[in-house]
Structure formats: C-alpha cells, structure tokens
Structure 1
Amino acid sequence: MSTASTHAQQSTDADADALMARDLYRFYRAGEEETLALRGVALEVRRGESVAVIGPSGSGKSTLLACLAGLDEPDGGTVRVAGERISHRPEAERARIRAHRIGVLLQTGNLIAHLDITANIRLARTAAPRASAQSIAELLEQVGLGHRAHALPQELAGGELARAGLAVALANDPDILLADEPTGELDGITEQRILALLRDRAQAGGGVLLVTHSPEAVKIADRVVTLRDGRIGS
C-alpha cells in the first residue's frame, strides 16, 4: 500500500464510527424448529461513546455481541468496525480484523491458563499488525495489576481476574471494546473500579459496548439500548 493510500485509510478509520451494525438477522434451526435470535438489529457506537445493551435473558444480547465481534456470522445484515466490514468474510479475515480493531471481554474469560498475565498480553499483541504505544507494564498499572504481572490466572482473585481480562482486551488499543457482563460476579468496590476503567476508555476516544444486567454499569453509559425478542425496543 502506498503512503498516500495508507494516509487515506488512516483518515477513513479516524472518521468512521467505532462500530456500525445494520439490519442484523440471526436464526438457528433444530430439526423443524427455527429460532430467530436477531431480527433486523441496527446500532452504532461512536468514538468516545459508551453504549449499554440491556434486556431479559434470551433476548439475543449474547448473540448480538458474538456477531459484532466476528465470532459468529449474521444470516443477514452487516457489521463494520472503524469503517471496515467484518461480517460475511472468511474466518481468517475476521480474526485479523478482530485482533487489529476489537477488544473482547467474555464471561468465559479471555486468558490462557498456563501463561502469566504479561505473556497473555504479549500473545494478544503478536496477533495484531499495529503496535500499541502503551507498554505492557503501563497497561497493567492502569488496571491496578502492576504487582501481579507474572501471576497465572488461577493465582488471581475474582476482581484481579476481571482486570487481567480487561488488560488483554485492551492490549492492542482497539477501536471498540465489547464486554459481556464485565462486572457480573464482582463485589461492589471491584465493580466500580472496572466501570471506571471502561468509562476512562471511552473518554480517551475508544468505543465501548457493554452487554449487562447491572444498574451500576448502565449508569456509566452514554446511551442505553434495550433488546427484546431479538429487536431493538424503546
């Protein structure tokens, strides 16, 4: 790619929303039964904005997050991250875009058990084509884990584990951070600390989307989107 083309791409990236989804549909079949998990969902997350997605269990929130992250393919509609389409592409291309542009924090965790925190972050960074300006030590200090840099995941308490997962999700300075119940099993003090980090992330110019049931998490959001029966509701 020429220098001019690179500059043009960087300009497009900077101007684009952190995340844009249009007319997302996702259905599952089991025998003759068909379940519509997403029904024409459209949403966007601007740079510097935090959005909370709420709704009852079974409303399609986790399916939506998986499609936004490129971990699942929608049956219809498109997802763009920083202007780049991630949906309806081969898995290898989705993985590249995810490593480059998306931080994902799932309830199941994003840490490899036999690697310490520093090695987990280093591994996440090897998958991305661009280097973060922030050192691993600085990132760990930001999440309050500078003193636990060489701890294994099983050596961490619940709050430390959540912060370590967040550090890995932020390893590559992503355009959008997608978090599924990031404070679901945390005590009140640790929840507030994690939410402060997410709020700071948005204020620094990154997009943040939270799937949550937590009233405290909703409070930090600039906008709240309600999902019911696979549709955006009021």
Structure 2
Amino acid sequence: MLSDPQSPAGAARASDPEAEAAESALSARELYRFFRSGEEETLALRGVSLRVGRGETVAVVGPSGAGKSTLLSCLAGLDEPSGGEVRVGGVRISHRPETERARLRARHIGVLLQTRNLVAHLSVRDNVRLAHSAVRGHPAVPAQDLLEQVGLAQRSHVLPRQLSGGELARAGLAVALANSPGVLLADEPTGELDGDTERVILQMLRDRASAGCAVLIVTHSAEAVRVADRVIALDDGKASDVRP
C-alpha cells in the first residue's frame, strides 16, 4: 500500500533520501568528482543528483567534456565519486572496495560502454558466456537465446573484429544483458550507427525498459532523446531537467 504524500508518514518518506533511493532502481545523490593533475584540479561533477525508476528510460545529454561519461562510470561503480553516493535498488554501491562494487555491478547492472564491452580474442557467444560466469547462482538468459534476441544467432561463433558496427553494438548489448540486470547503463550506444541500426538498438533498449529495467543512456542522438521518458542535461558538471 502506497503512503499518502500529504500524510505525516508520506511527507516524512518523501523527504527521506534513503527511502526515495529504495523506491528507485538507480539513484545518485550530490555526486562530486575531482581530478588532479599536478597543481591543476578539474571538477568533473558538481553535486549531481538523479533517480531512474523501474521501467523508465532516461537520456543524459550535454556537450563533450560536460561530465557525462564520468557520471556513467560513477553510476556503474567503475569509478568512485569524490563525494555523494550511488544506490542501486536502495543498496549503496559507492564508497565500497572494488571487489564489492564489482560483485554488485555483476548482479544488478548491465553496462554498454562507448568503446564496447567485448573481449577481442573471444567469440561473440563466449563473450556472453563470460558475462554469465560472473553471476553464478543469479538468473541469467542463456547465451544463444540472448544472441537470438539481438539478431546474432548466426554470428555467435565469430570474433568481434569480424562484426560490422551495427553487429558490434548488438553484441555489446547482449553482453550487457547477460546478467538480466535491473539497471542498464549505455554510453553513446548508437554513436557510430546508421539510422536504421540506431532505431533497432533503441527499440531493444525500450523493450528492456518495458520489461521493468531502468535504462539510462548517455547520448548526443536526437533519436535517443526522442524515445526517452525523461531528459537530463549535464553542463560543466551540473545537471538539470530538460524534459521532466
């Protein structure tokens, strides 16, 4: 039973950051990220807060150097924020040892990186199997079923270098979905694709959201922005809602 936000209990719940985080598939609160090079200090993230609900697709846009990829790395637990926290399904993933972050990421988060997420010397099928092996005891879709879903069943035996750009994007998506994640993070997933292939990939991401996954896309693509439920703009390390 949902709390009435007008009631004292509902108001307290709405003002409790941990309660709000628990209700979101993914949440970030007051994220800061500093980088130092000699005497120089760069502030890549300046107090970024966001939430992504189950079944929701959120696009993060902004100019190059705005902090988008840094934000995604912090959300995925690949990088540690200098301040603030990240929670996945209400569980804090930030400010933990790397082994714990990796375990939580393997069980709950799918990551599709701009540089792709395939091991060069493994076949497409073995790349998916490798992602499966990180989540023993956790529900996972069989590798061949996943490759059928992304249209690569007939290419499962080939190496990544033998794939076209569109096939690489679909293979990377299969790897990101191998752990049946509750959260899917994609960094420029359609950046080098033609229009038809871009629409296929975006439809796959929307299908994951329709199945209850929380999807966050870092993108420059107008088409990706169009299909998103919400749009967040990042500029000079600060976030603002473009389309709430």
TM-score computed with the length of structure 1 as normaliser = 0.92
Choose from 169, 181, 204 the match for 2:176.
169
Determine the structure 1 residue equivalent to 2:186: 179
Shift of the 133–102 alpha-carbon distance from structure 1 to 2, 3 Å rule, reads closer
Q: Does 1:38 align with 2:45?
A: yes
Determine the structure 2 residue equivalent to 1:230: 237
Aligned AA (1:25): Y
Q: Does 1:57 align with 2:64?
A: yes
The 5 A counterparts of 1:2-81 are: 16-81=23-88
Aligned partners of 1:193, 1:133: CA distance in 2, in Å?
23
Q: Could you say what secondary structure the match of 1:51 adopts?
A: strand
The 5 A counterparts of 1:128-147 are: 128-147=135-154
Q: Deviations over 1:172-217 (max 9, x none)?
A: 1111000000000001110010000000000110000000000001
Aligned partners of 1:233, 1:206: CA distance in 2, in Å?
23
Aligned AA (2:117): N
Deviates more, 1:29-38 or 1:164-173: 29-38
Contact 2:140-2:178 within 8 A present in 1 as well: no
Contact 1:100-1:129 within 8 A present in 2 as well: no
Q: Does 1:188 align with 2:201?
A: no
Aligned partners of 2:74, 2:141: CA distance in 1, in Å?
29
Contact 1:17-1:82 within 8 A present in 2 as well: yes
The 5 A counterparts of 1:93-112 are: 93-112=100-119
Q: Deviations over 1:72-121 (max 9, x none)?
A: 10010000111111100000001101111110111111000111111111
Aligned partners of 1:26, 1:130: CA distance in 2, in Å?
34
Q: Deviations over 1:8-43 (max 9, x none)?
A: xxxx9xx74210100000011112211110010000
Shift of the alpha carbon at 1:133?
4.8
Q: Does 1:115 align with 2:135?
A: no
Q: Deviations over 1:45-88 (max 9, x none)?
A: 10000000000111110100010011110010000111111100
Aligned partners of 1:103, 1:233: CA distance in 2, in Å?
25
Aligned partners of 2:138, 2:103: CA distance in 1, in Å?
14
Aligned partners of 2:136, 2:23: CA distance in 1, in Å?
19
**Corresponding residue pairs, total:** 221
What is the alpha-carbon root mean square deviation over aligned residues? 1.3
Determine the structure 1 residue equivalent to 2:7: none
Contact 2:67-2:235 within 8 A present in 1 as well: yes
Aligned partners of 2:181, 2:51: CA distance in 1, in Å?
16
Aligned partners of 2:64, 2:230: CA distance in 1, in Å?
20
Show structure 2 runs of 5+ residues with no match. 1-18
Shift of the alpha carbon at 1:157?
0.8
TM-score computed with the length of structure 2 as normaliser = 0.88
Provide the identity percentage.
Answer: 68
Aligned AA (1:68): L
Show structure 1 runs of 5+ residues with no match. 1-11
Choose from 128, 133, 157 the match for 1:126.
133
